[in-house]
Amino acid sequence: MKLFIRISLCILFFNNLIFSQNFSNKQKGLETKSSKLREEIKQINNLLFLNKKIKKSTLTEAEDVELKISIRTELIKINNEQINSLEKLININQRNISKYRLDIENLKKDYAEMIKNAYKSKSMQNRLMFIFSSEDFLQAYKRLDYLNQYSAYRKKQVKIIKNKTLTLQELNQDLIDQKQKRKLLLENNRREQKKLIEEQNQKNKILTELKKKSKNFNKQIKIKQSQAESIDKEIQKLIRLAIASSNKKEKNKLSNVFKLTPEAKILDDNFKANKGKLPWPVIQGVVIQKYGTQTHPIVKTTKIKSTGITIASINNAKVRTVFEGEVMSILSFKNSNPTVLVKHGNYITAYKNLSKVYVKKGQYLNSKEIIGEIFTNSQTGRTALQFSVFNAMKPENPSFWLYNK
């Protein structure tokens, strides 16, 4: 029965250890996410809220506050997951500590009994009598071997007690550390929740002002969306013409992909191989608008569509190409800022909303080479690059291509 109980305790202990390791790995992942979100909030504050002298339009201000609210809400959620994970780790640790204490107590009892029995038969005379009273040589040998094993077992028990005591001390220290970590997370979450309430109040105040001008803002969003669509159409047209030009000697002149030279094919393969590893087109930036069709963050009745992502950066921020390639075109027409298209085999990267362009059509660029500066809106103070990735004529989500900072 004792053996069965000990085996059951061992199984329970090892299960607890496995759970503890899994929770520890999960905790590390949550800490990494939490750290990224805190850094993102810091960047948003530096890039969108640092210059308080510039009076933003109500809509832009609301968009910026909503962005920060969404990220802070995610941070609070991650912190809560960390706290819950720590609660489970603490409970597992407490069970392990109880188990170790029980093991040590039983080991000490067994050891005390051994010492007591050894004391009763400690004299050399008693040991010799035990050996010499054997019926034959084989029995005498076995009795001598038993005494040696008994002595070795006593030493082993001392070592086990010592190791388990050290492990118990480590578990106790882990428990103290985990409880302290949980306390700090709870305090941090209270601070984040307080900031979240302030930001939500700020957003509500802005929304009250927005209601008075809702029609005007709907119009603004539609104009902005129309301008973006015009640029996208022009980009599609330029890509289509470039594809047609590359296929003019081919029978299939209506192909949707470029006819690539061996060198361009290598470039295309290299670009494709670097998916998820490409450097950001700006050194410092935060995504303020995602790829695809989405509900406007403030005017919920309006849908907006983006063939790329919008990255906010610092004033006069330099733009760099994310991969080596050739400048395919520099696009600029009425009511829009310049756009640079860089060709990487079948892939094209687009850098929109520039104030200055430092490159020329046909110029070959290395990765991270500066191609221009981002335009800063004097009314909102926002410096934002619109970045897109096209696979021939098909737009793809740039977030899947860029290195995840």
Would you kindly state where each structural domain of the chain is located, as residue ranges? 2-212, 214-400
DSSP β-ladder status, 303-306 and 339-344: unpaired
pLDDT of residue 123: 46
pTM above 0.85, yes or no: no
Q: What is the average pLDDT value for the chain, to the nearest integer?
A: 81
| CA atoms of 219 and 240, how far apart (whole Å) | 31
What value does the mean pLDDT take over residues 26-54? Answer: 79
Q: Would you say residue 319 has pLDDT above 60?
A: yes
- What percent of the chain has a predicted confidence (pLDDT) above 90? 32
The band of 111, judged by pLDDT with boundaries at 50, 70 and 90, is low
Residues 6 or more apart whose CB falls under 8 angstroms from that of 197 comprise none
Taking only the tens place, the pLDDT of each residue in 188-224 is 999 999 999 999 998 888 877 777 666 666 777 787 8
The angle at the Cα of 202, spanning 196 to 205, to the nearest 5 degrees, equals: 140
Q: Is the pLDDT of residue 125 over 50?
A: no
Q: In whole angstroms, what is the distance from residue 60 CA to residue 383 CA? A: 12
At 220, which amino acid appears? Q
Element (H, E) at 351: strand 347-352
pLDDT, residue 130, reads: 54
Fold of 214-400: Glucose Permease (Domain IIA) (2.70.70)
Under 8 Å CB-to-CB from 389, ≥6 apart: which residues?
308, 347, 348, 349, 350, 395, 396, 397, 398, 401
Rounded distance between C-alpha atoms, residue 15 and residue 21, angstroms: 10
CA end-to-end span of the chain, whole Å? 57
